[in-house]
Amino acid sequence: MESNYHVISTLVEDKPGVLQKVAGMFNRRGFNIDSITVGSSEVEGQSRMVISVHADEKGLEQVTKQLNKLVDVIKIKDITKTAVKRELCLVKVSVPNAKARAEIMQYSNIFRAHVLDVTDQTLMIELTGDKKKINAFISLVEGYGIKRIARTGLTAMSRGV
């Protein structure tokens, strides 16, 4: 993985405007967010945001400190090194013929993906994994013609207790 790619896990208050504040802060300080995912956490009234971002060491330090300053941000952790990272991807692939259908199903099996919807011309496949795995799957099925991709962006959690 590139050295300046970071995954930051933050615990924030579940209030209107918090996502805007966090995203706005990154933007204002000149950082591009790769992805940001938000959902409820184990604590009521608090959400967990997982942000992946490209930044050098100094930039990351600054962004972390600035994040910390937001009143609604409770905790921040850079979990790049320790985290299990997962993303969910839905992809709709064209199926030109029966041979293609068999091949795509086979790839899906290898990638432990699930077929969610079938028509005579398409397959909708659900896949979870890290970015690399998803990219690999997409490039495998690209040849058949991809009709649509929807990715959730990365969520992540540190290993261990």
Partner 1 sequence: MRGGEAIIESLKNMGVKTIFGYPGGQTIPFYDMLYDADMDHILVRHEQAAAHAADGYARASGRVGVCLATSGPGATNLVTGIGTAYMDSSPIVAITGQVPTHLIGNDAFQEADIIGITMPITKHSYQPKDPDLIPSMIKSSFEIASTGRPGPVLIDVPKEVQEGELTEFRDDLIQTPGYNPTVKGNIKQIKKARDLIKEAKKPMILAGAGVIIANACCELKKLAKTINAPVMTSLLGKGAFDETDDLALGMLGMHGRKVSNDYINESDLLIAIGIRFSDRTTGRLDSFVPDTKVIHIDIDPAEIGKNVDVDLPIVGDAKNVLKSLNKVLDGYNPSDDVNNWTDMIKAKKQELMPRVSYDDVPLKPQTVIKEIAEVLTPESILTTDVGQNQMWAAHFFDTQKPRKFISSGGLGTMGFGFPAAIGAKVACPDDPVVSINGDGGFLMVCQELATVREYDLPVIAVVLENRTLGMVYQWQSLLYNNRHSQTLLGNSPDFVKLAESFGVNAVRITKPGETKEALSSAMKDNEPVLLNVVIDSEEALPMLPPGAGINEMIGEYKLEKDVI
Nearer to partner 1, 27 or 106 (CB): 27
Site membership for partner 1, residue 28 (CB under 8 A): yes
- Local structure of residue 143 (DSSP, 8 states): G
Site membership for partner 1, residue 78 (CB under 8 A): no
- Dihedral sign (CA 11, 4, 155, 159): negative
Tell me how far apart the alpha carbons of residues 126 and 85 are, in angstroms, rounded to a whole number: 17
Site membership for partner 1, residue 14 (CB under 8 A): no
Site membership for partner 1, residue 35 (CB under 8 A): no
Among 69, 98, 99, 139, binds partner 1 (CB under 8 A): 69
Cβ neighbours of 112 (radius 10 Å): 10
Look at the chain and count its residues.
161
The residues that touch partner 1, with contacts defined as CB under 8 A, are 12-13, 17, 20-21, 24-25, 28, 58, 61-62, 65-66, 68-75
